Amino acid sequence: MRMLITGTPGTGKSSVAKEICRRKGWPLLSLREIAEKHKCIIRKEGKERIVDVQKLKKAALRELKGKKNAVVEGHLGCEFSLPVDFVFVLRAHPSELRKRMRKRRYPARKIEENLMAEMLDYCSQVSARHYHVPILEADTTKRTAGQTAARLLSYLEKKVKKLDKVDWSPELRKKTLRNIRIASL
């Protein structure tokens, strides 16, 4: 069993992946760690890392080689295709995501950028372009990382038939209307 866990930063990828690997004894491949180990970071801008995505893909392929089981986690995982059996896209309601990112002291610009990506289903859309295996969304808003890990495993063990279909378009609409009002002032 190989899987990719992707999603907007703050949706809980690292926590959920760690929990799945702890429960199953599978190797955890963090794309952030792979990027550092294989020197895929072009430069750093404050806390942000600008990554050579093609180099990261090659490094991830090398790390996956010979591994029957693996959990790959990282938001950049949706940007290329990896040999996995399932893709899980973790989601979170924009207000919850904002709280999580504030707690992590993300810069305001980065918070807005990530919230927009989440509202536009960016990781789901881009995953669909690169992966031809089942792509499942899981809403983490009202769940702990342990609960989400358990749900993903239940899905894989066919104990539950479906996960979630999220739609933050009402939030996007609210934000757009707010912006229009501001622009017309």
Ligand X SMILES: Nc1ncnc2c1ncn2[C@@H]1O[C@H](COP(=O)(O)OP(=O)(O)O)[C@@H](O)[C@H]1O
Dihedral of alpha carbons 134, 118, 104, 146, sign: negative
Q: Note whether 15 binds Mg ion by CB under 5 A.
A: no
Part in contact with ligand X (CB under 6 A); list of ranges 3-11, 61-69, 127-135, 175-183 = 3-11
Contact residue for ligand X among 2, 3, 9, 151 (CB under 6 A) = 9
- We find the least distance from the C-beta atom of residue 185 to ligand X, in angstroms, to be 35
Q: Note whether 12 binds ligand X by CB under 6 A.
A: yes
**Phi-psi sector, 41: left (phi>0), alpha (psi -120 to 50), beta:** beta
Contact residue for ligand X among 14, 81, 153, 171 (CB under 6 A) = 14
The pair of structure tokens assigned to 87 is 């893709």
- We find the least distance from the C-beta atom of residue 162 to Mg ion, in angstroms, to be 25
Q: Percentage helix, strand, coil, to 5, in the chain? A: 50, 20, 30
CA distances from 5 to 45, 109, 127 (A): 25, 25, 11
Contact residue for ligand X among 2, 3, 10, 89 (CB under 6 A) = 10
Q: Note whether 147 binds Mg ion by CB under 5 A.
A: no
**Touching ligand X, residues 116-155 (CB under 6 A):** 140, 143-145, 148
Q: Note whether 94 binds ligand X by CB under 6 A.
A: no
Residue with smallest beta-carbon separation from ligand X: 12
The pair of structure tokens assigned to 85 is 């059996």
The CA distance from 129 to 96, in Å, is 27
The pair of structure tokens assigned to 130 is 């690169």
The CA distance from 121 to 169, in Å, is 9
Looking at residue 105, the DSSP 8-state letter turns out to be T
Contact residue for Mg ion among 1, 14, 133, 171 (CB under 5 A) = 14
Task: Point out which residues bind Mg ion (CB under 5 A).
Answer: 14
> Where do contacts with ligand X occur on this chain (CB under 6 A)?
7, 9-15, 100, 103-104, 140, 143-145, 148
